[in-house]
Structure 1
């Protein structure tokens, strides 16, 4: 990977069937975006609106790389990031319909939803190198949503929407996965998740898209052990699917696809959740489509993708986690998906 200083940018993928692209928006000091500048991934999207995933576009932990899943061609693209923009480092075959990818200290795991399965890789100066023997099948029909590492990299977590389960694998020093541990989700249809730095796992629950039933649960984690703390704290909204934690670990922001609201929860020192504001930020009131979101690493700005209106919405983060709208930027394809902020 290159080690030049990374630019400040927001990345999304076009997910177009005839050629997927990484769309790069530059950010200004006040959070406004300019662009997008498209860069071909070398793969193909599935060409469908609303890619059912969290983590289809992911920054590496060192901020020097961007990973993009190509759901249509069954591969993942790696880009190095330097001051001039992302540089394609190659595309690697992974499996059927990859829709989520996670990285920790150079170890990468990809969630394939067509198989379904997970498989491992290492980042190198030339791209991704497959980790021999790392592929692990998941339960057929479980409908996995996201793959992610615990903060210390000792466990790999997967949410399964139809199975209503959270699956955790121990991660060995060689990057290989141990035996899976499965626990039932506190609520129905666990979707996206995020971690605090101390290992509290926060999982949003879509409750099969039932109106007004959206909720979030928190769990204490120790390795692969996952223990409920707060169970299904509802926000009164619908189709909650994506989650991100503030840089100070005090707040959780969740997007509600059905009504364009971003809900804010307070995270207690013990990992408990309290709903602060069910609509701390709103894209287009009552409009469907708000989905993938991310915070800039300094915690100053939150961005969320609205696929139906083909826009990215932005907010500045203020005192007590408040959100103030700073603008929106459109012209995106209807198939747009994923969002990562550098």
Structure 2
């Protein structure tokens, strides 16, 4: 099987499947950078198009840091519709969404900008993650802060946006300030699932002198409690029933089996199965949607955490053949890989690539100096993986290898600390 996978990768690269890659700068004057992706995996910038909205810049709203990578503390801020006609992106600074038409040549034309309906309180908004339901033509917009974490927009046939009145929270009776991370729509469009990171914003607990956030708070009686979600309270994943009109049912909360269930990636050939990446759980697991619509989460498979915990294993990219998962480690400044072996996971390469250093100014939750890797994206042939390293001001492209390792093939300069989101075809 390894030889077969190696031949498949080599053939994909030999055939050369060029395409397009999009990233938002998240600068205060937000823009989408459109790259031409060449047959050898290299990138060439074609254009920068204003989103008509504001990003948060280098400022990180959930921690209050003046300049830090992964400002959104989330994933999925840029998405393409399945028919590739439209691209949507959040504008985290002013809580708005921009809609672009995608031409046959991959170029973008801005067609609409609409506020999410959540007011901006303080220096920046927190609109961070998007998911689209083609059947109901509903765009779900997730914000870091609630109580109205989820807002809805209708998308017409021309890609124009209209704010809907519905609003939904992932707060619970005892947790009124939760930080949401990522929203996804299940492939069968029956569920909308939201991951969470913290049970209250890091900004409420402050920073250590070295710049790393404080993860523990003191409750009544003097006991220390983690602010990481699902650590240990079993309620880190929220699942909503998606109704035929695009509205959502009441949230049902699930034990994610690990701290801070950050990222949710569905498999392609098994649309009832998904992989979870945990920012504080230091690993990945596989979950499934049961026939009755409930979630079943499998055991967490951890990476090597000898460099310190938490590792902040956050973003995931699943190979198109559903065999390999590439997991981005924010704290460790690298990527590791997993094999999907039937219904479970096993480590393939840990790490899968060398550490990418930053400029030494950013620290992870464990105090490790980090280059702040964030969103990643894998090509439809599985041949190349692209990774943002915000504190290194780099977007790096890797050739995937049959053993799960990654070989760097390209690197382009990007804005410092602020960039978010990757999508392409």
Normalising by structure 2, we get a TM-score of 0.73
Residues 1:225 and 2:290 aligned together: no
Structure 2 SS opposite 1:308: helix
Q: Which moved more, 1:237-246 or 1:300-309?
A: 237-246
Q: Do 2:78 and 2:130's aligned partners in 1 also have CA atoms closer than 8 Å?
A: yes
Provide the residue aligned with 2:237 in structure 1.
166
Q: Do 1:109 and 1:118's aligned partners in 2 also have CA atoms closer than 8 Å?
A: yes
Provide the residue aligned with 2:182 in structure 1.
146
Q: Do 2:24 and 2:422's aligned partners in 1 also have CA atoms closer than 8 Å?
A: yes
How many residue pairs end up in the alignment? Answer: 329
Q: 2:265 aligns with which of 181, 194, 201?
A: 194
Within 5 A, what are the aligned runs for 1:56-67?
56-67=77-88
Q: CA 1:36–1:239 in 2, change beyond 3 Å: closer, same or farther?
A: farther
When Rg is computed on C-alpha atoms for both structures, the one with the higher figure is: 2
Q: Which moved more, 1:316-325 or 1:294-303?
A: 316-325
Q: 2:167 aligns with which of 130, 135, 149?
A: 135
Provide the residue aligned with 2:150 in structure 1.
118
Residues 1:254 and 2:322 aligned together: no
Provide the residue aligned with 1:25 in structure 2.
35
Gaps of 5+ in 2: 1-17, 60-67, 119-125, 199-228, 231-235, 358-368
Q: Do 1:297 and 1:341's aligned partners in 2 also have CA atoms closer than 8 Å?
A: no
Cα shift at 1:156: 0.5
Provide the residue aligned with 2:318 in structure 1.
245
Structure 2 SS opposite 1:280: coil
Q: Which has the higher strand share?
A: 1
Cα shift at 1:240: 1.1
Q: 1:35 aligns with which of 32, 45, 59?
A: 45
Normalising by structure 1, we get a TM-score of 0.90
Q: CA 1:131–1:42 in 2, change beyond 3 Å: closer, same or farther?
A: closer
Q: 2:130 aligns with which of 101, 118, 121?
A: 101
Q: Do 1:189 and 1:205's aligned partners in 2 also have CA atoms closer than 8 Å?
A: yes
Gaps of 5+ in 1: 1-6, 208-212
Deviations 1:81-102 (A, max 9, x none): 1115111121111144210001
Q: Do 1:186 and 1:232's aligned partners in 2 also have CA atoms closer than 8 Å?
A: no
Residues 1:88 and 2:110 aligned together: yes
Residues 1:203 and 2:273 aligned together: no
Q: CA 1:72–1:331 in 2, change beyond 3 Å: closer, same or farther?
A: closer
